[in-house]
């Protein structure tokens, strides 16, 4: 098997598996219980949260642990004020956002910010759409389909300028910046202060940790409301017995990711070069401003969904876009937003590299992809 879909799922790191093990059967206690073994588990849980928080320049008390990035994104939108007469342009979100941001933003009457053909945010469009009614702006740090790295610090600068202008004019409405950083922790140096965010989503499953575990960084300026009522865990914002093994595993992979960011980037840059040098007959969609492990290929005139199945038969696993959209046969809104035609979208593959890959696999993957594409073009041409 040559697996090239690490943006969709990653295997759990061996160190994380080992660290999690005791908390399934031996240290199984509920952290909310009053006796000593439970208090010990509670302390270890908080210590793990502190590891995750320090990796992004925050404190453990700034994090709310969730059941993944989707829940964290939804929780972030509870920062919106409640009122009968809601202003237009209350929410602005990047049009290439993951569905867990797009759908909740649309439900709240959100307005999309355009992107440039490169996939980068159109900062002028952002400036033109911010009004005195705008309360929340959501821009992912890294796009989950293209790997595009957004200039989040520049967005934050615009937000700060708007806040100062509102203060001068006596406008009291809040303006918060949220970012989904699910794809970023193992390849970028993520720091909430430098990026200037008020809310940030993190995801264990994308960085070789357990699935079903995520976190939302919450600054002191953001006031959230719980999505679930219950026992008051996570400062009352995420009730339910704590997922101790999951958070222990999450902390383990966060610490590993932080240590190896530079080495990871160098490795994927070289693997990407090998792959692109040997592939034939493609157009590269994500040429600049992208994570080193994302390769978006367009084979115009071919059916990428058919290519996925043909490649699977030969042991190569790739995707046509976000897994949640591809499984429903939905065309990529991300590729449409950057100006690709229906034919180009239909012929686009997403390859995302990861820890299991090496140079030998890149040579073999390129050979098999070339072979499958050539056969498909011959079939279509009769």
- DSSP-based three-state secondary structure for 10: coil
d(CA 28, CA 245): 9
d(CA 314, CA 295): 20
298 flagged as catalytic:
no
d(CA 56, CA 316): 34
Q: Are 95 and 225 in contact (CB under 8 A)?
A: no
Burial 18-32 (b: 16+ CB within 10 A, else e): ebbeebeeebebebe
Strand order in the sheet with 283-284: 283-284, 294-298, 348-352
Q: Are 195 and 177 in contact (CB under 8 A)?
A: no
Pairing of strands 283-284, 214-218: unpaired
Name the β-bridge partners of 177. Answer: 137
Q: Tally the C-alpha atoms within 13 A of residue 250's C-alpha that lie toward its C-beta.
A: 33
Q: Phi first, then psi: what are they for 356, rounded to 5°?
A: -80, -15
Candidates 374, 365, 352; CA nearest to 312 is 365
Task: List, in sequence order, every beta strand (DSSP E) within the chain.
Answer: 2-3, 63-66, 91-94, 111-113, 136-138, 176-180, 199-203, 214-218, 283-284, 294-298, 316-317, 348-352
The active-site residue, picked from 166, 324, 336, 363, is: 324
- DSSP-based three-state secondary structure for 94: strand
User: Which residues are identified as catalytic?
Assistant: 324
């Amino acid at each position: 098997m040559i697996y090239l879909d690490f943006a969709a799922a990653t295997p759990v790191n061996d160190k994380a598996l080992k660290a999690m093990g005791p908390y399934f059967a031996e240290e199984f206690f509920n952290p909310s219980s009053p006796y000593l073994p439970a208090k010990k588990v509670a302390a270890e849980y908080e210590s793990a949260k502190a590891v995750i928080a320090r990796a992004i320049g925050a404190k453990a008390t700034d994090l709310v642990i969730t059941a993944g990035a989707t829940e964290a994104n939804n929780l972030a939108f509870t920062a919106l004020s409640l009122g009968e007469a809601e202003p237009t342009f209350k929410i602005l979100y990047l049009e290439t956002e993951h569905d867990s941001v797009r759908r909740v933003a649309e439900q709240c009457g959100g307005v999309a910010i355009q992107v440039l053909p490169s996939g980068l945010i159109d900062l002028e469009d952002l400036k033109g759409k911010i009004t005195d009614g705008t309360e929340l702006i959501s821009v992912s740090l890294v796009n989950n389909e293209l790997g595009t790295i957004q200039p989040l610090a520049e967005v934050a600068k615009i937000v700060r300028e708007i806040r100062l202008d509102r203060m001068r004019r006596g406008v009291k409405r809040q303006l918060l910046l949220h970012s989904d950083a699910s794809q970023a922790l193992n390849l970028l140096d993520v720091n909430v202060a430098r990026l200037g965010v008020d809310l940030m989503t993190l995801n264990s499953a994308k960085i070789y940790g357990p699935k079903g575990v995520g976190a939302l960084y919450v600054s002191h300026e953001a006031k959230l409301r719980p999505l679930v009522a219950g026992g008051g865990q996570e400062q009352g914002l995420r009730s339910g017995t704590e997922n101790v093994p999951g958070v222990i595993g999450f902390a383990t992979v966060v610490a590993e990711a932080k240590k190896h960011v530079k080495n990871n980037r160098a490795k994927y840059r070289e693997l990407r070069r090998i792959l692109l040098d040997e592939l034939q007959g493609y157009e590269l969609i994500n040429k600049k401003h992208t994570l080193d492990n994302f390769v978006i290929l367009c084979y115009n005139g071919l059916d990428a969904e058919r290519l996925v199945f043909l490649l699977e038969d030969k042991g190569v696993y790739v995707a046509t876009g976000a897994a949640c959209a591809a499984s429903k046969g939905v065309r990529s809104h991300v590729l449409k937003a950057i100006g690709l035609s229906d034919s180009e979208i239909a012929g686009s593959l997403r390859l995302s590299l990861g820890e299991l890959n090496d140079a030998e696999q890149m040579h073999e993957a390129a050979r098999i992809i070339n072979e499958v594409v050539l056969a498909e073009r011959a079939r279509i041409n009769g």
